[in-house]
């Protein structure tokens, strides 16, 4: 079997780049699948262009290219014409193209169709096509251009039979109509036709989902011995009775599931998933109350300081009246404040510790840590939440782990995403929450929207205005938070008290802005999606989302969840041209319905692909998976684990452990 170093065009520097990307062997290289494809095999007439589509077009420039400058950006523009019409084409920050393009030369271009600031169709920074066909596009690696990566893969394919043996039993391939693995890998890298590509991606995606679920199922069955927390009879009922509101039936059911886990001899590993406002925080505090009353310390890790501070305030209201002491640990604390916090944690003076990733930093020692809670699971990697679990001082017993997720995900996908965890779904909202009314607002009705915001402010109600960008960009046609803030301060909202916040803002300035908004000192807060989680302002009744068509449905639903948190009528305005996708949001407030639609529209690959570091957990998932395949792979797993298929299940398990050894090591680390 060849070593990577034997491939032509692969020197020491490029080998180091591959190793950094996790590609150490020929098999690793062959299993590095394209992230997408450029289909230049079919030309599209210019008259058929539609926004959002990637197309290959061919024609002649009407005139010689024009070079323009905007601040530090340059743009080269032409008008490309074929027999059916013409379309503007723009390249950003490629000024040399001005001398390389000529109106008498035929051009074939591949790129995405979008709209300019005036709403006209255009091609933005397309590639000049030199090779026709279905071309693989691999993830960018520094120092390895796409053409070189394709050539390396082409060479490596000669070793395919030796490097990548079959992973699935014949009975599975036949039952689920899957091609052989090596045919799939050849066609996934260099498809001979669209039909062959579809067959290949079905095999690769199905295998990835099945093996990942098998690996996770193996971990669940091997779950370590855990810290056993005895829960007295009626302890859950006593906790609910201490709250100023009655629990929903879903909350009672889930806390009972948690209590059973804590009392088990195996470490709890449970994710609680529910829509915005379903009461997951009350469940987390209930779990911590059960653990503390049994003599154990608890830690809750939140993704932002804003959310950590809000959890502390809620914990003090809920837990301190039960005699449970709570404290806060953040990364930006002053030296003395941090020393005092570390002492309170180590001594056990703080029975519940709330914080950010500072909870897993060096020097933090806990006293009898029995339960860790991770909030907003999608914002942390597996390793981060496991590092917190590892802080337990028990040498032979694993700490209990509870994970909260406010991102509704259809159950089948959740079982794939969180395969190492048991799943609880809080599928009921507390009574009294006012459904948010959602409307699509086209640009011509903007003045009426600002008048509505002014009327709301006059009644003491507040508004969020969310923008997709921090600052103006010539490359992306979207409103920026900074420019919108300046425009509103001088224009239609100049009579209101306005605030601005964004992700890279100075932490103290950001915290002060959020504090003033929460205290009612700001009428309208202009921001990026930094307010998506962790901002709870009951008097905020209006959410305006600029360029709403640039967000996924689930993220729009999360943003909408920032309003409607009080008894007042609340509104969410989507600033965009009407389309079928946004209409779904206007028709329902049910996050699970929205997530199901989002999954159908975007595909599960987008859910699994937006993980830490941008890596796709399951190879091929982002390319070939759909919802029916996701369900098929789950059914296949159940079938393989039924009596009579022990030999086939053993083969799949061996393949799963080999394919996901690194992931399993992370998940199993304790």
Distance CA 511, CA 218 (A): 44
Distance CA 193, CA 204 (A): 17
Distance CA 111, CA 282 (A): 49
pLDDT of residue 439: 96
Give the model's confidence band at 608: pLDDT under 50 very low, under 70 low, under 90 confident, else very high: very low
Give the model's confidence band at 664: pLDDT under 50 very low, under 70 low, under 90 confident, else very high: low
Each residue's pLDDT tens digit, 414-450? 766 666 678 888 888 777 677 899 999 988 899 999 9
Last residue of a domain, one of 588, 617, 644: 588
In this prediction, what percent of the chain has a pLDDT beyond 90? 48
pLDDT of residue 66: 92
Q: Is residue 9 part of a domain?
A: yes
- Please state the rounded mean pLDDT for residues 577-598: 85
SS3 265: coil
- Answer yes or no: do 300 and 283 share one domain: yes
Domain count, the chain: 4
- Please state the rounded mean pLDDT for residues 197-213: 91
Mean pLDDT is lowest, of 90-104, 470-484, 500-514, for 470-484
Give the model's confidence band at 379: pLDDT under 50 very low, under 70 low, under 90 confident, else very high: very low
pLDDT of residue 2: 76
pLDDT: is 545 or 405 the higher one? Answer: 545
Give the model's confidence band at 577: pLDDT under 50 very low, under 70 low, under 90 confident, else very high: confident
- Answer yes or no: do 293 and 381 share one domain: yes
Q: Is residue 173 part of a domain?
A: no
Distance CA 63, CA 480 (A): 33
- Please state the rounded mean pLDDT for residues 198-215: 90
The pLDDT of residue 59 is above 90:
yes
pLDDT of residue 474: 41
pLDDT of residue 242: 95
CATH classification of the domain holding 57: 2.40.50.140
- Answer yes or no: do 88 and 158 share one domain: no
The pLDDT of residue 396 is above 80:
no
- Answer yes or no: do 259 and 335 share one domain: yes
Give the model's confidence band at 597: pLDDT under 50 very low, under 70 low, under 90 confident, else very high: confident
| Residues 6 or more apart whose Cβ sits within 8 Å of residue 243 | 282, 318
| Residues 6 or more apart whose Cβ sits within 8 Å of residue 547 | 467, 468, 478, 479, 575, 576
Last residue of a domain, one of 405, 429, 459: 405
pLDDT: is 406 or 543 the higher one? Answer: 543
Each residue's pLDDT tens digit, 26-56? 999 999 999 888 899 999 999 999 887 889 9
Distance CA 4, CA 149 (A): 13
Give the model's confidence band at 521: pLDDT under 50 very low, under 70 low, under 90 confident, else very high: very high
Note the Cα 106 to chain centre separation in Å.
42
Q: Which residues of 537-554 are buried (b: 16+ CB within 10 A; e: fewer)?
A: bebbbbbbbbbbbbbbbb
Last residue of a domain, one of 405, 423, 447: 405
Closest CA to 431 of 258, 585, 250, 587: 250
- Answer yes or no: do 346 and 292 share one domain: yes
Q: In whole angstroms, how far apart are CA 56 and each of 48, 120, 556? A: 11, 19, 32
Give, as one character, the DSSP assignment of residue 129.
P
pLDDT of residue 615: 47
- Please state the rounded mean pLDDT for residues 597-623: 56
- Answer yes or no: do 70 and 7 share one domain: no
The pLDDT of residue 525 is above 70:
yes
- Answer yes or no: do 441 and 544 share one domain: yes
Q: Is residue 18 part of a domain?
A: yes
> By CB neighbour count within 10 A (0-12 exposed, 13-18 middle, 19+ buried), where does 443 fall?
exposed
Q: Is residue 536 part of a domain?
A: yes
Give the model's confidence band at 176: pLDDT under 50 very low, under 70 low, under 90 confident, else very high: very high
Give the model's confidence band at 303: pLDDT under 50 very low, under 70 low, under 90 confident, else very high: confident
Q: What are phi and psi of 628, to 5 degrees?
A: -60, -40
DSSP secondary structure string for all residues of 455-473: HHHHTT-EEEEE-SBSS--
The pLDDT of residue 389 is above 70:
no
Average pLDDT, the chain: 85
Give the model's confidence band at 147: pLDDT under 50 very low, under 70 low, under 90 confident, else very high: confident
Distance CA 523, CA 497 (A): 5
- Please state the rounded mean pLDDT for residues 638-655: 94
pLDDT of residue 114: 85
Q: Is residue 612 part of a domain?
A: no
pLDDT of residue 663: 57
The pLDDT of residue 235 is above 90:
yes
- Answer yes or no: do 31 and 46 share one domain: no
In this prediction, what percent of the chain has a pLDDT beyond 70? 86
Each residue's pLDDT tens digit, 530-574? 776 657 788 899 999 998 988 888 889 989 988 987 778 999 999
- Answer yes or no: do 500 and 567 share one domain: yes
Q: Is residue 271 part of a domain?
A: no
Mean pLDDT is lowest, of 101-105, 129-133, 374-378, 566-570, for 374-378
| Residues 6 or more apart whose Cβ sits within 8 Å of residue 537 | 462, 517, 518, 562, 565
Q: Which residues of 7-34 are buried (b: 16+ CB within 10 A; e: fewer)?
A: beebeeebbeebeebebeebbbbbbbbb
Distance CA 89, CA 111 (A): 10
- Answer yes or no: do 399 and 475 share one domain: no
Distance CA 58, CA 81 (A): 8
Give the model's confidence band at 236: pLDDT under 50 very low, under 70 low, under 90 confident, else very high: very high
Closest CA to 539 of 574, 515, 563: 563
Q: Is residue 1 part of a domain?
A: yes
pLDDT of residue 610: 39
- Answer yes or no: do 158 and 20 share one domain: yes
CATH classification of the domain holding 298: 3.40.50.300
The pLDDT of residue 583 is above 50:
yes
- Answer yes or no: do 49 and 24 share one domain: no
The pLDDT of residue 657 is above 80:
yes
Best-predicted range by mean pLDDT among 108-122, 354-368, 516-530, 532-546? 516-530
Distance CA 587, CA 218 (A): 41
Give the model's confidence band at 378: pLDDT under 50 very low, under 70 low, under 90 confident, else very high: very low
Domain that holds residue 244: 235-263+278-405
pLDDT of residue 315: 95
pLDDT of residue 609: 42
Helices and strands per DSSP (H, E), number in the chain? 26, 21
pLDDT: is 594 or 407 the higher one? Answer: 594
Each residue's pLDDT tens digit, 251-302? 999 999 999 999 998 888 888 988 877 889 999 999 999 999 999 999 999 8
pLDDT of residue 620: 60
pTM of the model: 0.69
Best-predicted range by mean pLDDT among 1-10, 216-225, 635-644? 635-644
Mean pLDDT is lowest, of 128-142, 259-273, 619-633, 656-670, for 656-670
Q: Is residue 220 part of a domain?
A: no
């Amino acid at each position: 079997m060849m070593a990577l170093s034997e491939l032509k065009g692969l020197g020491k520097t490029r080998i180091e780049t591959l190793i950094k990307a996790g590609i150490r062997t020929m098999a690793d290289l062959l299993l590095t699948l394209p992230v997408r494809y450029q289909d230049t095999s079919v030309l599209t007439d210019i008259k058929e262009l539609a926004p959002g589509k990637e197309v290959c077009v061919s024609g002649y420039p009407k005139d010689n290219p024009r070079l323009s400058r905007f601040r530090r950006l340059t743009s080269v523009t032409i008008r490309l014409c074929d027999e059916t019409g013409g379309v503007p084409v723009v390249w950003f920050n490629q000024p040399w193209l001005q001398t390389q393009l000529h109106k008498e030369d035929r051009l074939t271009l591949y790129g995405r169709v979008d709209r300019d600031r005036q709403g006209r169709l255009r091609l933005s920074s397309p590639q000049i096509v030199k090779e026709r066909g279905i071309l693989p596009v691999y993830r960018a690696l520094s120092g390895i251009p796409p053409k070189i990566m394709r050539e390396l893969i082409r060479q490596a394919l000669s070793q395919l039979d030796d490097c990548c043996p079959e992973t699935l039993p014949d009975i599975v391939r036949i039952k689920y109509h899957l091609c052989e693995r090596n045919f799939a890998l050849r066609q996934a890298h260099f498809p001979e036709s669209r039909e062959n590509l579809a067959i290949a991606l079905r095999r690769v995606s199905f295998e990835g989902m099945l093996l990942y679920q098998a690996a996770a199922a193996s971990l669940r069955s091997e779950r370590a011995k855990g810290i056993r927390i005895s829960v007295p009879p009626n302890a859950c009922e006593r906790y609910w009775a201490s709250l100023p509101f009655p629990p929903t039936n879903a909350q009672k059911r889930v806390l009972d599931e948690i209590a059973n886990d804590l009392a088990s001899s195996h470490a709890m590993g449970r994710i609680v998933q529910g829509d915005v406002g379903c009461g997951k925080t009350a469940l987390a505090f209930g779990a911590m109350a059960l653990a503390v009353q049994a003599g154990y310390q608890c830690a809750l890790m939140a993704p932002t300081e804003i959310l950590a501070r809000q959890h502390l305030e809620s914990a003090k209201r809920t837990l301190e009246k039960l005699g449970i002491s709570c404290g806060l640990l953040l990364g930006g604390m002053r030296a003395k404040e941090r020393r005092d916090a570390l002492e309170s944690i180590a001594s056990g003076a703080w029975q519940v510790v709330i914080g950010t990733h500072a909870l897993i930093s060096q020097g933090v020692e806990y006293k009898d840590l029995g339960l860790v809670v991770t909030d907003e699971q999608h914002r942390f990697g597996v390793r981060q939440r496991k590092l917190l679990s590892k802080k337990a001082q028990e040498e032979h017993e694993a700490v209990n782990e509870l994970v909260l997720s406010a991102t509704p995900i259809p159950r089948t996908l959740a079982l794939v995403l969180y395969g190492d965890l048991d799943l609880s779904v809080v599928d009921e909202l507390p009574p009294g929450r006012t459904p948010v009314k959602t409307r699509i607002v086209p640009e011509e009705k903007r003045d009426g929207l600002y008048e509505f915001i002014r009327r709301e402010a006059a009644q003491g109600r507040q508004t969020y205005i969310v923008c997709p960008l921090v600052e103006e960009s010539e490359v992306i046609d979207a409103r920026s938070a900074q420019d919108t803030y300046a425009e509103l301060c001088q224009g239609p909202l100049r009579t209101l008290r306005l605030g601005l916040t964004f992700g890279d803002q100075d932490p103290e300035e950001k915290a002060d802005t959020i504090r003033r908004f929460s205290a009612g000192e700001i009428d309208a807060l202009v921001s990026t999606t930094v307010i998506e989680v962790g901002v709870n302002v009951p008097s905020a009744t209006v959410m305006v989302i600029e360029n709403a068509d640039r967000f996924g449905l689930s993220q729009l639903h999360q943003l909408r969840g920032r309003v409607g948190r009080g008894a007042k009528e609340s509104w969410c305005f989507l600033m965009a041209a009407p389309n079928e996708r946004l209409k779904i949001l206007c028709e329902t407030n049910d996050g699970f319905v929205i997530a199901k639609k989002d999954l159908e529209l975007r595909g599960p690959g987008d859910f699994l692909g937006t993980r830490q570091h941008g890596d796709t957990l399951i190879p091929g998932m982002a390319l070939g998976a759909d919802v029916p395949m996701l369900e098929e792979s789950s059914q296949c797993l159940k079938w393989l684990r039924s009596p009579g298929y022990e030999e086939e299940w053993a083969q799949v398990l061996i393949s799963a452990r080999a394919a996901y050894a690194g992931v399993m090591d992370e998940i199993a680390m304790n």
